[in-house]
Amino acid sequence: MSLDDAILTEDLGVYKTLLESTRAIPWKIEWASLRFAYIGPQIEELLGWAPQSWQTVQDWADRMHPEDREWVFNFCVAQSQAGIDHEADYRALRKDGEFVWIRDVVHVVRNEDGTPNALIGFMFDISERKRTEEKLLDMQRELEELSFKDGLTGVANRRRFDMVVEARWRDTRQAHQPLSVVVLDIDFFKQYNDHYGHLEGDECLKRVAQALAGIVRGPDDLLCRFGGEEFVLLLPNTDEATAMAMAWRCLDRLDKALIPHAGVGPDKRLTLSAGVNTIIPKEGDEVLPFIARADRRLYLAKERGRHRVVADGA
Ligand SMILES: Nc1nc2c(ncn2[C@@H]2O[C@H](COP(=O)(O)OP(=O)(O)OP(=O)(O)O)[C@@H](O)[C@H]2O)c(=O)[nH]1
């Protein structure tokens, strides 16, 4: 062996040691036969399958989560055929039946004419990163949900209402259906706070929200706290008579909740007033005047003595 050969042999030994002691798992596939020419021994520690058991690309595909298999296989073959280096994340099957998230980073070694000669790459264990990503996504979803909820009562907040009303408006306009809104406001709530204190006032708002939540018929109806002691019910595909009946049922529910209000009223109980508006939205109609009309009817209900519902002409 010449000195050069000896140095080369020694270098190869160094490279092999380096490759096989990293956490990234090296591998090589001959393109013509689609067989593994090499896979690092670290694969056994990660997945439990011995290096000798990785014979063909079929072994690789078989040891992949069924939901990932088709797209990863097709993607990698297409990229390789096009001679493009690529990477893919997928769940690899461990011998014990569990799955491990892998990132496979692939380099396409090409012949002089550009056709693929071999694929060489590294597999990285990215399970920890995936778990962190999942956790972050969960937190993001939770935050988003919280950002649409009223912090005190847990019902939807104004932000959610603004978003939903736009969507319902569009849908009902397209379907030529009626859209109703009921604006509900606690009577003499200032006196309630003055009499029982602000914290009791907060508790009272929670009880009112609970009582009103029961009125919602399904996922299309929306109850939200509009602000202060005002709540709003948005009722798609609901005509005025139905909306009016639902408003009265809200008042009734609160009557039945028997929330004492020593400060006012003949029954010394907390009551609500409501304004109702219904529209079949047409081109040129707008959301804000639609809500404002219900709000004006609420104030008529207040003027007329509270604890009542006012709708169009009622
Ligand atoms: N405890 C508590 N009080 C609130 C909250 N938001 C608004 N309020 C109170 O609600 C009261 C509303 O008072 P007003 O707008 O005068 O209405 P009202 O006393 O209910 O009178 P009418 O609506 O005319 O029957 C105010 O005293 C506000 O401080 C809240 O989050 N918690």
Q: What is the pLDDT of residue 314?
A: 56
> How many CB atoms neighbour CB 199 within 10 A?
9
179-199 average pLDDT score? 96
148-310 is classed in which CATH architecture?
Answer: 2-Layer Sandwich (3.30)
Q: What is the pLDDT of residue 8?
A: 67
With a cut of 70, say whether residue 3 has pLDDT above it: no
User: Looking at ligand 1, which residue's alpha carbon is closest to its atom 23?
Assistant: 187
186-208 average pLDDT score? 95
Residue range 49-96, pLDDT digits in tens: 999 999 999 999 999 999 999 999 999 999 999 999 999 999 999 999
CA 34/CA 31 separation, integer angstroms: 5
Q: What is the pLDDT of residue 1?
A: 62
Q: What is the pLDDT of residue 313?
A: 63
User: Looking at ligand 1, which residue's alpha carbon is closest to its atom 3?
Assistant: 201
Q: What is the pLDDT of residue 93?
A: 97
Q: Which of 10, 112, 144, 229 is catalytic?
A: 229
DSSP SS3 for 116? strand
User: Looking at ligand 1, which residue's alpha carbon is closest to its atom 26?
Assistant: 190
Q: Which atom of ligand 1 is nearest to the CA of 306?
A: 25
Residues 6 or more apart whose CB falls under 8 angstroms from that of 22 comprise 42
* Band of pLDDT at residue 46, cut at 50, 70 and 90: very high
Residue range 214-229, pLDDT digits in tens: 999 999 999 999 989 9
With a cut of 80, say whether residue 5 has pLDDT above it: no
Domain coordinates of the chain in residue numbers? 3-131, 148-310
Q: Say how many Å lie between the CA of residue 214 and the centre of ligand 1.
A: 23
Give me the percent of the chain exceeding a pLDDT of 70. 97
Q: Which atom of ligand 1 is nearest to the CA of 187?
A: 25
CA 172/CA 238 separation, integer angstroms: 10
Q: Which atom of ligand 1 is nearest to the CA of 185?
A: 23
158-182 average pLDDT score? 96
Q: What is the pLDDT of residue 265?
A: 63
179-203 average pLDDT score? 96
* Band of pLDDT at residue 312, cut at 50, 70 and 90: confident
Q: Would you say domain 3-131 falls under CATH 3.10.450.50?
A: no
CA 219/CA 136 separation, integer angstroms: 27
DSSP-derived secondary structure for 143-164: HHHHHTB-TTT-SB-HHHHHHH
| Helix, strand, coil share (%) of the chain residues, nearest 5 | 45, 25, 30
Q: Which atom of ligand 1 is nearest to the CA of 189?
A: 20
Calculate the CA 23 to chain-centre distance: 34
With a cut of 90, say whether residue 11 has pLDDT above it: no
Q: Say how many Å lie between the CA of residue 191 and the centre of ligand 1.
A: 8
Lining residues, ligand 1, CB within 6 Å:
152, 185-191, 193, 198, 201-202, 205, 228-229, 302, 306
Q: Which residue has the higher pLDDT, 115 or 1?
A: 115
Per the annotation, the verdict on 229 as an active-site residue is yes
Backbone angles phi, psi at 254, to 5 degrees: -70, -40
Mutation test residue for ligand 1: of 152, 186, 189, 254, the one with most atoms within 8 Å of CB? 189
With a cut of 90, say whether residue 22 has pLDDT above it: no
Interior CA angle at 211 toward 236 and 231, to 5°?
55
ipTM exceeds 0.85: yes
With a cut of 70, say whether residue 287 has pLDDT above it: yes
Mutation test residue for ligand 1: of 155, 157, 186, 190, the one with most atoms within 8 Å of CB? 190
- Ranges of beta strands (E only) in 86-163 are 86-93, 99-110, 116-125
96-118 average pLDDT score? 95
Q: Say how many Å lie between the CA of residue 144 and the centre of ligand 1.
A: 28
Q: Say how many Å lie between the CA of residue 298 and the centre of ligand 1.
A: 15
Among 211, 220, 251, 226, smallest CA distance to 238 is for 220
User: Looking at ligand 1, which residue's alpha carbon is closest to its atom 11?
Assistant: 190
Residue range 120-151, pLDDT digits in tens: 999 999 999 999 999 999 999 999 889 999 99
- Ranges of beta strands (E only) in 203-271 are 222-227, 230-236
Q: Which atom of ligand 1 is nearest to the CA of 198?
A: 1
Q: What is the pLDDT of residue 9?
A: 74
